Copies of this chain bind each other. A is one copy, B any other.
Amino acid sequence: MNIAENIHPPAAHAAPSLAGMVSLCEAAMRDVNKVILEKMASDVPLIPELAGHLIAAGGKRMRPMLTLMGALAGTTTQGKDDIPDEALYLAAAVEFIHNATLLHDDVIDQSEKRRGRDTANAMWGNEASVLVGDFLFARAFELMVSTGDIEILRMLSSASARITEGEVMQMSMAGAPDSKLEDYLSVITNKTAILFAAAAEAGARVGGASAPICGAMHSYGLALGRAFQICDDALDYGEDSDKMGKNSGDDFYDGKITMPVILAWQDGTAQERDFWTRTLSQQDYQTGDLQTAREILRRHRAVERALAHAKQEAEAAIAALSPLGQSEISSALISGARFAAKRAY
C-alpha cells in the first residue's frame, strides 16, 4: 500500500496494514536494533551467536514497535517530536523478553523450525537455549533499570511473571479439548497480551504521556495481543501456514488446545470427539489426521469463528484509542489492529 494514503485517513476506513506503524517507527527501530546488538554482547561467544541467530531472523518486531508507538503518542501530545532514549532501551527490553520466551518455548515444544529457520535448540541444543533465554531475560531487566523508572520495572516484572503463568496453564491444558473457552482466553491474555499491553504503556510513560493516554495504550495493547494470538493459533490449522514459516499443524501434533478446537469440541458429534481424544489427548496420530482435523473444523466454521473473535478484539483495541484523538499515530495504530486480526488474508 501507498504510505501517503495512510496520513490522516478517516479512522473508519483505515485499511489493515502495519505500514503506518513501520513507517513512523523506521528511524527509531534502527536505533533499537543497535541497542539490541550492543546488549547481546558477552565475553562468552556462544551467547551473541545463539541470540543473534534468533533475533536476526526478525519477525515483525510487533512488541518493540508498540513501545515506540506508545512513546510517540506521549511525545507528540507534549509537542515534542523525538523519541527519548529510554523508549529505545525499553523496546529492546521487550524484544529480549519475547525472544527469551521463544527460546524456552522451542525447548519445551521441541520445535525444529521457527520463522522458516532451524531453531536454536535444534542447532545448539536445549542447554544453550535455556541458558541464553535466561541471559536475555536478565539483560532485559538491566535495560529497564537504565530507564531509572521503578514503575516500569514493576509493570514489566509483573508481565514477565504472568507470561510464565500463562505458559504453565497452557501446558496444563494440553491434550484437553474439552477445556473452557475462558481458560483459553486467560492463557493467551497472560502469555501474549499482557506483554503487548506493558510494552505499549511503558513506551507511553517514558514518552511523557498523560495517564489517560498511558491507559489507552495499555488497553489497546491488551486487546491487540489477544487478537494477534487468536489469529496465530487459528492459522496453524490454515492450509497455508507453511507460508508463515511455521510447521503447519504444529499445535495439532503437540496436543495444544486453541480456540478452533474448543469451538469444534463444544459443537462436536460423539465421533468427532473420539477423533480429538485419540489425537490431541492420547497423542495417537495416523496418516491424514491433520486433513481430518481441518475438515472437522471447516464443518463447524471453527477457524472462521475464531477469526471473528479476533476481529472483535481488534475493534476493542481501536475503541480504546479514543483518548489519542485523530492523528497519524492513531491511524497507524488502527491499521495495525486491523492487520493483527486479518494478517495472512
- Interface on A for B, CB 8 Å cutoff? 42-44, 46-47, 100-101, 104, 107-108, 126-128, 130-135, 137-139, 141-142, 144-145, 148, 150, 153-154, 157-158, 160-161, 163-165, 167-169, 171-172
Q: Min CB distance, A211 to chain B, in Å?
A: 20
Q: Considering the chains assembled together, what is the distance between the CA atoms of A307 and B144 in angstroms?
A: 40
Q: Min CB distance, A44 to chain B, in Å?
A: 5
Residues on the B chain within 8 Å of A141, using CB: 141, 153, 157, 160
Q: Considering the chains assembled together, what is the distance between the CA atoms of A145 and B157 in angstroms?
A: 8
Q: State the number of copies, please.
A: 2
Chain B residue nearest to A171 (CB atoms) is: B127
Residues on the B chain within 8 Å of A42, using CB: 165, 168
Q: Select A153's contact among B43, B145, B164, B168, beta carbons within 8 Å.
A: B145
| B160 and A138 form a contact (CB under 8 A) | yes
Chain B residue nearest to A156 (CB atoms) is: B141
Q: Considering the chains assembled together, what is the distance between the CA atoms of A330 and B246 in angstroms?
A: 59
Residues on the B chain within 8 Å of A153, using CB: 141, 145, 150, 153
| B126 and A107 form a contact (CB under 8 A) | yes
Which residue among A160, A163, A168 has the maximum number of chain B CB atoms within 10 Å of its CB? A168
